[in-house]
Amino acid sequence: MFRKRIAVLAACMIALAASLAGCGNSGSNSESSEKASFRAAMVTDTGGVDDKSFNQSAWEGLQKFGKAHDLKTGSDVKYLQSKQPTDYAPNLNQLVQQKYNIIFGIGFLMQSDIQKAAQQHPDAHFALIDSIAVDKDNKPLKNVASLTFKEQQGSFLVGVVAGLMTKTDKVGFVGGVNSALIKKFENGFKAGVKTVNPDAEIYAQYAGDFNAPDKGQSIADTIYSKGADIIYAAAGNSGNGVFTEAKTRTKSSGKKFWVIGVDRDQHDEGMPENVTLTSMVKRVDQAIYDTATKAEKGDFPGGQVVEYGLAEKGIGIAPTTDNLNQKVLDQVKSYEKKIIDGDIVVPTTDNEYKTYLSSLEK
């Protein structure tokens, strides 16, 4: 009898253990089936996240994505700042190790580091702004989305503004790093100026850096001193020095020295002297928002080159038009249509610009 009770008790204990094990497995499966939060991050270039231009626009786009998906800023959505080019690689690798679902490299200067990281971590997803990530055979990397823009088109439009509104027939261009990318800004701008004002003189100079506002200010001082009354700055944080010089001169002389901003609406950067004539808006924020949204839905555009221009509403002039009259705005709209329709092909290189000038003389 005693042995029978022991046997029954043992059987019950085995059944209970099996039941508990089953409950434990069920709970584990339930937890693993819960969808983890999608996480997105970016690495700034040396201009910094608060450059009031390129990097800031990128961060605004990523924050917009995070807000739309109830993600936490600083964890689910965040940025790593690069103070110098040698920070790019470790910043990218840090985000890979932290297993972010998509990692954005902000700027063409990050191309080689993105390419290296992408090939070392083929399961990670990256997006590169302003350049095309390729392998050793010059083929687009499958785990990198390359996001590019037709900067020359928007630059042409602000060139039209400058050509029509200059009172001295002298305008300037200040670039960051002299490169194929920034040449698109310069040549598009010059083409727009010359299309509406063939007699205008255009001074162009580069700071050699996207994070040197003192150099930007010094170059602006030189160009304004030559008689220019409008400068288009495509130089990241270096362009903030152009604003400083324009505001200083305007305040001391009572005469307007204008700046054309870049990448985002820089109207506020010209205050309180109100020296921002207009800005060439480059929707880096929209490109990042679009790409992160696609990735979150499982449609990451890896291996693709996505280009934004006037037709895609990824490029244009700023919505703030307080300092532009209706006649100028009508001209801008007319030339925008000609570019979208293909009647005008805006030059991107020095040679293309020379050819374009020759066509204007015919």
Which of these, 270, 276, 264, 217, lies nearest to 245 by C-alpha position?
217
Question: Given this model, what pLDDT does residue 52 score?
Answer: 82
Cα 184 to the center of its chain, rounded Å? 15
Span 62-91, average pLDDT = 97
Neighbours of 86 (CB within 10 A): 10
The domains located in the chain, with CATH, are 40-149 (3.40.50.2300), 151-282+325-361 (3.40.50.2300)
Tokens of 289: 């928002």
Mean pLDDT, residues 284-291: 95
Half-sphere exposure of 112 (CA within 13 A, CB side): 4
Which residues are CB-neighbours of 318 under 8 A, at least 6 positions away?
Answer: 261, 264, 265, 266, 267, 278, 279, 280, 281
Quick one: tokens of 292?
Answer: 């992160």
Lowest mean pLDDT among 35-39, 137-141, 226-230: 35-39
Name all contacts of 325-328 with Cβ < 8 Å and 24+ positions apart: 327/164, 328/160, 328/161, 328/164, 328/165
**260: Cα separation from own chain's centroid:** 18
Flag whether pLDDT at 78 surpasses 70. Answer: yes
Which tokens is 26 given? Answer: 């069920």
Indicate if the pLDDT at residue 20 is higher than 90.
no
What is the C-alpha to C-alpha distance for residues 282 and 291, in angstroms, rounded to an integer?
Answer: 15
Q: Which ranges of 69-150 does DSSP label H, i.e. alpha helix?
A: 88-97, 111-120
Query: Contacts for 255-258 with beta carbons within 8 Å, 24 or more apart?
Result: 256/229, 257/224, 257/229, 257/231, 258/165, 258/229, 258/230, 258/231, 258/323
Q: Which pLDDT belongs to residue 36? A: 67
Q: Cα separation of 81 and 42, whole Å?
A: 9
Q: What is the pLDDT of residues 264-278, one digit of tens each?
A: 999 999 999 999 999
Average confidence (pLDDT) over 177-198 = 97
What was the pLDDT predicted at 86? Answer: 97
Compute the distance between CA of residue 197 and CA of residue 228 in angstroms, rounded to an integer: 14
pTM: 0.83
pLDDT at 9: 45
Q: Is the pLDDT of residue 115 over 60?
A: yes
H-helix or E-strand containing 132?
Answer: none
Q: What percent of the chain has pLDDT over 70?
A: 90
pLDDT at 302: 97
**Among the ranges given (12-16, 43-47, 202-206), the one the predictor scored with the smallest mean pLDDT:** 12-16
Q: What is the C-alpha separation between 81 and 110, in angstroms, rounded?
A: 13
Greater confidence (288 vs 3) lies with: 288
Give the chain's radius of gyration (CA, Å): 27
Per cent of the chain over pLDDT 90 is 86
pLDDT surpasses 80 at 141 = yes
Pick from 289, 288, 252: nearest CA to 273: 252
Note the pLDDT of residue 213. 96
> What is the rounded distance in angstroms from the CA atom of residue 210 to the CA atom of residue 70?
33
Residue 70's pLDDT is what? 96
Q: In which band, very low, low, confident or very high, does the pLDDT at 361 lie, cut at 50, 70 and 90?
A: confident
Measure the CA–CA gap between 186 and 349, rounded to whole angstroms.
9
Angle at Cα 79 formed by Cα 264 and Cα 101, nearest 5°? 110
Distance, in Å, from the CA atom of 53 to the CA atom of 106, rounded to the nearest integer, reads 12
Q: What is the pLDDT of residue 362?
A: 75
Cα 247 from Cα 258, distance rounded (Å) = 9
